Structure 1
């Protein structure tokens, strides 16, 4: 379907065929429209906790030695890194479900080492299955042939396209047997290389030849009465023939759902193999993919315009029920500059999914390659993100259970403020954090809205990204570390922004971070925090042991009018400081028990 906006105002819909089911969601406000939409397509999945950490990837980490050095240099420079990735470099002759015996011969050992560091490992998995390996040498194709899992051309033979390994066949994920075969492939590979996540790329599906190596028939499906303005001018440009045969229908009817069908198959297979929450990242997307997969915004360029465009791209996916989304930090194509990469890391620290990913021919852009000032700014942004992960994880819980948005456009939070309707250079996390990134080269001040409609100019030198807490909110945080494995054991602290009346509220969802269906099974902790009348009280509404041994180490309270005479924590005097903000330190209050922190003015 092609949809065009007219100034009238009106929408013009032109469809290439099929049945149109139109759903009208009446709101009355933006958040309820999103909730009504997600009641149709399904609420998003709950991600594993570690997937909210920092991910690092590059096409061009050519050996296990190179990949290990990247991790070593990241941690030696005190940059948090949870997940190391490999692009197609790892694969033998670029064939998926293999690894290169010369350059990646000790891949299983490397993954084991990463796990011992408390890290995770992800690699790329394209759907194109190499079709030219000698018979008996490449089981994914041999078994797929026997089990009849591949898409056929109009004459009933296997359709052969061309992707990275050369001639390839394409699995038909609408066929139940294909999904079983795909699980067998993943299970077999995982038994050798215990990967923690799968990155499904090229799944539009993409092909380097038009239609197939033999071309496509001249018929109405390949040349319909109307062709939308697609790249290449034909529906089969850069992909497979529209008249190709799949289990459910022709590819013409199923093309846009190919990535969704693969994401569903990969999520289900990987869940069965792991026995815990899977992580899947998909390039192609379709309504309801957020139930099975994260998404990134594709191969963006390293420039300031793409940095700015990444915000509306991420926010749109949020509205579409895909909260776990981000853009390639510092850009994928072309060379970044130090300033651009710093500003992108600061913005990327507030993408729900945070990955720095770079293309083979470009200048390196790992955080440790830059000058000390730039590194300090990036480290600061990363540590801020890691400190906020309990809050971010709680937002994902609300997205999963209530269809709330994680990264949120301002118009959703302030629907009656007309100024907020056009803002796409700032965004919120939940309803309580406002993120105002610098998006122009050389800028050290940043102009932005308050919900009262005021413009304010704030300083934002290279080491600063402006983040503001909305009054009346309590943000649960945790001392950062180099991995979430370590940070999840650290003391919590609270950031409290009192309202004008002296009140605030916040909450924390906490489980083991990886088990399946913890909310549905009641296997989690949920704690609320309430501030008012010069005190903060926690209320653990549900406990399952996940918070045992974890403590509240401190808190900071904004909006206390003057220095208190004293502070009591569960009745005992506590260390506190006051410079416009009340800071309470050296606490050791168990998170799994009710606690009260009071101050006397």
Structure 2
């Protein structure tokens, strides 16, 4: 039997590696909407059909926190749904619809995505025979609910913002006993086949759906993760966007196929305002998009209600979204802006923000499947010093383990992991190891034995332990929905359990969709059963989130809550940002995959997950030197910056290319390190406000329609405009400069650009088009060392870019870069302002944290040449400073102010 098992495993590996050698994924391994029966059913509903869902008028009641009512399905006698509408603080609404009364089966609600229970906002109610009117107190939001058919109409400032169930596409398939004879319209609802796999569907049809019309929007964004354009495309004639977390290597581009993550958040934006929809459902979900870019005429309150009740069609040019999920309840939030940053703040108040990451995680990471042994790790990290390239983190993939048993080490290749880690930390570096959710079925493996003894695995529908195939061969999967499994998994990260680990070892959760090589669509069968008697179909998209939640708590607990964890995860859902960074998965060393990494990370960023990056250089295949250089240049300006490659690729550490390539890669990585103070400050701002760390242009220029569709360039915070080169053999590209009253300064030459619109920019191989926005102040560190840790006390340089009004503002955040003591007030926060030819440093929060860093230099960009000297004033008095002025680019450099970075001071230009 062991020989047969090894033979089958070899065949599976062969199939996987052969499929990895082709140019694109085999789409036949993954379902279309027509092959997903519930999607086909929901999508076949015709717009403006007569809706069977109506409110029961006498059931409507308003408490001090929410409105509640019963909805009847007129197609089925005795079927009732319970609807609850909550008005929430900060211009947010929540609607939940579930079966009323006793149910055959519980419907899953993925509350794990929410950071906390949302805070209610009081409402007032008025009603007549056909309509209920709600008004949120202390806001300009009104909600009209029509009774027959059930619809929601949302107004902000007396303008129509959103229609819910406008096309009568609401669906809620109630649980019911299996009939003796299956009706024609339910064929496939009680049993479904895909290729050789059977989904038994013992609980029958349970789909839910709702359509939304975003009247105040012209473009739609979000719905990550898909390898598609940033501005969402209409899906008529194609499959809808699909949410079903899957292991899709070498994924295709520019379509709505499901990938590794599912964040069912949609943002609409128009010239006047922005709006968001968060569809809280963890089951397989498809989203149809329709409508074109249009700032449609507003309809009056009375007209819209009359039109909706009468069934009049909505303007076809208004963007619409139709969400369809296989199971669960209808649970959605509407966030009403009005600006893009308001929408992300409101959404982040629901699902949380990323806690401030340790600084090292924002620096450069070096990874490969796999570094061979401890000597290999030592040689690679030493060569970073030899070639003067900074690097903070080495990574180990699955081959570092003992026969792919996680929480172990290969006894020969990695015989002394503590020594290996200590060698890294002696240079200020860290180690990341991979820990996947599949567990090798091996009687000599402690984790498998514990899982069997304590009943920790996911079950088959008959109650036996589910067995699938993954990297170790025969594997079973921990049931992270079970609190007992969560506690066990948390304990595995304790130093006395994960032998060979230290507090400088961090974790990579991969393959957690979950990936099952011999499963339907390379994942777990939907009729597997989890804790609480929920089917896998109910919880699939949240499985990876449940793993990283336990991993995070494990890393937190091992240091008694003192050190900030760092985790990278492949599978993700709404709320993942509270625990882990993500990357865009198994991409290809191809120019199009470099290009698509930008809109993929932008989509995640506006959907709460700012800590995103792509495998620099491409995971599969071998990049030529031009692609390699350009990818590093682009990766420098994405939040997560890691080089990574497949086991069958050529080694590609930067020094293995020619001297020019090594030099240019060194330059761009060093640039990343100079900007670490900016990145760190932006992540602190994100934690506090939800503001995306990288953001699309329309976030900063919300009324400029020309930027609504741009996804080839982006902003880092509000200060840097980045337009990476993503095409081969080009000597110039077009860069769009937004804003009518803006000046942009080239980060290399400091030359100003005052044009609003596209400009041709020369891009020789050493040029990265990056521009600092006039009116901003950026903190940097110019003394680049081998790692961020050894730069901790180094001095700062401020780059002051003067705006057209002669002013500039910026800020700086400083703490110990690794602990949670900042939550106890131990940090420094400084605001900078340049006004009336004075640069003022005001330390807003300085008394509880000591830093040895000081101000080494100030560069004032865009200043006229009338100033020949400067003085600095502190509480200790005034001192004259030396200055150097460059007339060619109007840069005034103030040398060695030599004041502590946490002091209050004023520099006056004279």
Q: TM-score range by the shorter chain?
A: over 0.9
SS at match of 2:527: coil
Contact 2:421 2:505 in 1 (8 A): no
SS at match of 1:21: strand
SS at match of 2:529: coil
1:507 aligned residue: 811
1:143 aligned residue: 450
SS at match of 2:521: coil
SS at match of 1:111: helix
Contact 1:196 1:278 in 2 (8 A): no
Tell me the TM-score normalised to structure 1 length: 0.93
CA distance in 2, matches of 1:548, 1:109: 31
1:390 aligned residue: 677
Superposed displacement of residue 396, structure 1:
0.3
CA distance in 1, matches of 2:354, 2:807: 32
Q: Does 1:539 align with 2:842?
A: yes
1:375 aligned residue: 662
**Which whole-Å deviations, capped at 9, do the CAs of 1:424-455 have from their partners, x for residues lacking one?**
11011111111111111012222111114421
Instruction: Select 1:527's aligned residue among 820, 830, 844.
Output: 830
Q: Which has the larger radius of gyration?
A: 2
Change (3 A) 1:338 1:484: same
SS at match of 2:779: strand
Instruction: Select 2:522's aligned residue among 226, 232, 238.
Output: 238
Q: Does 1:2 align with 2:286?
A: yes
Contact 1:478 1:488 in 2 (8 A): no
Contact 1:500 1:559 in 2 (8 A): no
Contact 1:341 1:365 in 2 (8 A): no
CA distance in 2, matches of 1:530, 1:460: 33
Query: What does residue range 314-353 of structure 1 map to in structure 2 within 5 Å?
Result: 314-353=601-640
SS at match of 1:310: helix
**Which whole-Å deviations, capped at 9, do the CAs of 1:329-379 have from their partners, x for residues lacking one?**
011011111010100001000110100000011122221112221222111
CA distance in 1, matches of 2:712, 2:701: 16
Q: Does 1:14 align with 2:318?
A: no
1:443 aligned residue: 730
Superposed displacement of residue 175, structure 1:
1.0
Q: Does 1:463 align with 2:748?
A: no
1:485 aligned residue: 789
SS at match of 2:573: coil
Instruction: Select 2:557's aligned residue among 272, 284, 297.
Output: 272
Structure 2 alignment gaps of length 5 or more:
1-284, 292-315, 741-755
**Which whole-Å deviations, capped at 9, do the CAs of 1:112-139 have from their partners, x for residues lacking one?**
11011110110111111111x23xx321
SS at match of 2:469: strand
**Which whole-Å deviations, capped at 9, do the CAs of 1:369-403 have from their partners, x for residues lacking one?**
12221222111111111111111111001111111
SS at match of 1:425: coil
CA distance in 2, matches of 1:184, 1:485: 28
Q: Does 1:300 align with 2:609?
A: no
SS at match of 1:376: helix
Superposed displacement of residue 159, structure 1:
0.7
Between stretches 191-200 and 580-589, larger displacement belongs to: 191-200
2:202 aligned residue: none
Residues matched between the structures, number: 571
Superposed displacement of residue 492, structure 1:
0.4
SS at match of 1:530: strand
CA distance in 2, matches of 1:563, 1:89: 63
Tell me the TM-score normalised to structure 2 length: 0.62
Change (3 A) 1:544 1:299: farther
Instruction: Select 2:548's aligned residue among 250, 258, 263.
Output: 263
Instruction: Select 1:25's aligned residue among 311, 332, 335.
Output: 335
1:208 aligned residue: 517
Contact 2:427 2:786 in 1 (8 A): no
Structure 1 alignment gaps of length 5 or more:
211-235
Superposed displacement of residue 191, structure 1:
4.5
SS at match of 2:330: coil
**Which whole-Å deviations, capped at 9, do the CAs of 1:172-211 have from their partners, x for residues lacking one?**
111111111112222145442225310000000001112x
Query: What does residue range 359-438 of structure 1 map to in structure 2 within 5 Å?
Result: 359-438=646-725
Between stretches 294-303 and 176-185, larger displacement belongs to: 176-185
1:553 aligned residue: 856
**Which whole-Å deviations, capped at 9, do the CAs of 1:204-251 have from their partners, x for residues lacking one?**
0001112xxxxxxxxxxxxxxxxxxxxxxxxx3211121111113111
CA distance in 1, matches of 2:785, 2:897: 19
Higher RCO structure, 1 or 2 (CA under 8 Å, sep 6+): 1
SS at match of 1:526: strand
1:197 aligned residue: 506
Question: Which structure has the highest helix share of the two?
Answer: 1
